[in-house]
Amino acid sequence: MREVILVYLDRSGGLQKFVHDCKKYNDSKQSYAVYRFIISINPSDIAELDATLGNYILHNPLQAAQIFQSVCFVAIKTLSLIEQLQTEAQISILLKPTHLPPLPSYVLSLSAYPFNYTSPRFYVSEGIVIAMGTVTKYTQGARFLCTEETCPFSEGFRCIRVHCPGATESATVRTDFVCSLCSSPLQEDMKFRVLGDKQIVEMTDAKILNALKGYSIDKSHFRIQAFTLFLR
């Protein structure tokens, strides 16, 4: 899969964009705990190269992002793209599909039963925005250090917390994390906290427009409920 990813990135121009993004990080005088990359992918093109990888990206995007993370780390180290980068955990990959297969199973509709959305994968959802919150900050990544000075994890970038889709803020930043090596408490290095923007949006199904048509001959009744989206 790693070889297929490298071939795809080279053919699609994603590798060139990745190198350009690395150059911006490398030229920056700021030190980062997490280097975030957004990679656009065409699921159809990837499926033609390797059907297994294409299916993996569509149905297990979080695990697929880890494979992209490994490929990007090797590329950075091989080509010396970011001198400050130390560990693979410092790389955060966000896969952004250009489209999804035009099939009903890839459409998220909260007005259709049953609600079989247990898989944490990509869905398309269309609706009407009825409310928007203000833009606030959230933690994309943070660096933690072991409080035991003799522990190898008391320095470097071995303990990195990165926000994952669907996770809350407390899953990334908390005060009760412990070292996986010596079980001592971990303390965040605030100088390396990486922040991003988030916005809460209330959406509702487009069928709500039917309520504006007035009296209906078929006398059908329906109930519309809004749902919340987090835009990050």
Quick: pLDDT tens for 159-200: 999 998 888 888 999 999 999 999 999 999 999 999 999 999
In a domain, 119, yes or no: no
Distance CA 157, CA 3 (A): 27
Domain range spanning residue 79? 1-100
Q: Do residue 172 and residue 81 come from a single domain? A: no
* Number of independent structural domains in the chain: 2
In a domain, 185, yes or no: yes
- Among the listed residues 178, 183, 171, 180, the one whose alpha carbon sits nearest the alpha carbon of residue 142: 171
In a domain, 44, yes or no: yes
Quick: pLDDT tens for 14-70: 999 999 999 999 998 888 889 999 999 999 999 999 999 999 999 999 999 999 999
Q: Return the CATH number at 63.
A: 3.30.1640
- Among the listed residues 104, 124, 120, 7, the one whose alpha carbon sits nearest the alpha carbon of residue 57: 120
In a domain, 110, yes or no: no
3-state secondary structure of 183: coil
In a domain, 114, yes or no: no
Quick: pLDDT tens for 77-101: 999 999 999 999 999 999 999 999 9
pTM for this entry: 0.86
182 Cβ contact partners less than 8 Å away, ≥ 6 residues apart: 146, 148, 151, 153
Which of 100, 118, 146 is the C-terminal boundary of a domain?
Answer: 100
In a domain, 117, yes or no: no
3-state secondary structure of 136: strand
